Amino acid sequence: MVNEEQVIFTKISFDEMASEELKSYDAVFIRENNLSEAAKSQYADVYLNSSIPFFFISANNHIPFTVKETAYNESWNWTAGQSYAVGVLPNFKGRGCE
């Protein structure tokens, strides 16, 4: 069971995601209103090389965030019957994503 005292949400900018300060967080949640910005190719390496997980709320796949040549559009949004969020946690043993 999680109590609200156990979880602290802190708003960070996309500039902060590329900094060493990111290591002080346990995870990053990217909300629906920021998915287009999050899918820009300069952030793919941040997600793939991070030691913490990234969760994309209201996205149905991690591909527009981890594959640089893939653009984000409405087809990647959540629809009924699909997962409401997708997470990315690099698997450093196999150098892939989970």
How would you write the pLDDT of the chain (98 residues) with one tens digit per residue?
666 777 888 999 998 887 778 888 999 999 989 999 999 999 999 988 888 999 999 887 777 888 888 777 676 565 666 677 888 887 655 444 44
Claim: this prediction has a pTM higher than 0.85: no
Q: Is residue 41 part of a domain?
A: yes
Q: What is the pLDDT of residue 17?
A: 82
Q: Is residue 11 part of a domain?
A: no
The total number of structural domains in the chain stands at: 1
DSSP three-state, residue 10: coil
Domain residue limits at 51: 25-97
Q: Is residue 88 part of a domain?
A: yes
Digit-coded pLDDT (tens) for 26-42: 999 999 899 999 999 99
Q: Is residue 12 part of a domain?
A: no
Q: Is residue 16 part of a domain?
A: no
Which string of DSSP letters, residue by residue, matches 12-64? --HHHHTSGGGGGSS-EEE-GGGHHHHTSGGGHHHHHH-SS-EEEETBS-SHH
